[in-house]
């Protein structure tokens, strides 16, 4: 996947107007993408409008069509696993967003799923699967992030104000157990912060 991200970056950086709107077809669409039907109700319209206005103001533009960059979202459960010399897929991205959930939340979500449809058929978790397999592997493959952000596994929800972009892969950490508005604000701030950083680097050249 690292090679795929690197190749895609080179293609986009070589396209004229790639800062505008570039259509990208990905072969990594998640088969587990099941957004909640009431996702639009998670944030009041006024709060969304306020956040949109903040973004436009920070970027000094008047409409969303004038935003000077495009976003490509890469989703994956092992994006930040960097066993092989820090060559994690996430390290190839400009910025990272690690939105975790508390142990109890993850266990409840997992056990609420009746079954998974895989290429090999229907999979159902055997009894105790979350505690014996899912959670230990989550901790194992995110040990680098957990070392820098112990709140990920200490079963305490940290407020958005305490979250910082850290780690060598420039990853913003936040909990989905926080109010949705706070989680979204952390993500938006991470993206804007990376854009500002890139603009500063270009200005110094």
The residue with greater pLDDT, 32 or 12, is 12
Distance between CA atoms of residues 185 and 143, nearest Å: 25
Q: What is the pLDDT of residue 137?
A: 92
**pLDDT tens column, 88-146:** 677 777 888 888 988 999 999 888 887 877 788 888 899 999 999 999 999 988 888 88
Does the predicted TM-score (pTM) go above 0.75? no
Give the E-state strand segments of 1-145 in sequence order. Answer: 96-100, 116-118, 121-123
> Which residue, 38, 42, 63, is CA-closest to 52?
63
* Residues 64-97 pLDDT 10s: 889 998 888 888 888 887 665 556 677 777 888 8
Segment 45-58 mean pLDDT: 91
Token digits for 66?
A: 């004038």
- What percentage of the chain's residues is helix, strand, coil (to nearest 5)? 50, 10, 45
- Structure tokens given for 191: 């993206």
Measure the CA–CA gap between 39 and 48, rounded to whole angstroms. 13
**How confident is the model over 167-192, as pLDDT tens digits?**
444 788 888 888 888 888 988 999 99
Are 121 and 115 spatial neighbours (Cβ–Cβ below 8 Å)? Answer: no
């Amino acid at each position: 996947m690292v090679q795929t991200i690197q190749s895609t970056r080179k293609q986009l950086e070589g396209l004229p107007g790639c800062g505008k709107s570039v259509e990208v077809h990905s072969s990594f669409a998640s088969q587990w993408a099941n957004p909640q039907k009431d996702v639009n109700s998670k944030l009041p319209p006024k709060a969304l409008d306020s956040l949109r206005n903040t973004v436009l103001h920070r970027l000094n533009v008047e409409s969303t069509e004038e935003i000077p960059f495009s976003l490509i979202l890469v989703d994956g459960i092992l994006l930040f696993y960097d066993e092989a010399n820090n060559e994690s897929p996430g390290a190839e991205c400009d910025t990272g967003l690690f939105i975790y959930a508390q142990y109890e939340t993850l266990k409840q979500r997992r056990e609420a799923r009746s079954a998974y449809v895989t290429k090999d058929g229907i999979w159902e978790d055997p009894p105790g699967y979350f505690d014996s397999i899912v959670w230990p592997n989550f901790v194992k493959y995110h040990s680098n992030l957990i070392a820098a952000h112990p709140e990920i596994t200490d079963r305490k929800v940290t407020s958005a104000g305490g979250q910082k972009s850290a780690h060598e892969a420039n990853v913003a950490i936040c909990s989905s157990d926080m109010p949705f508005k706070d989680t979204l604000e952390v993500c938006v701030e991470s993206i804007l912060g990376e854009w500002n950083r890139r603009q500063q680097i270009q200005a110094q050249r």
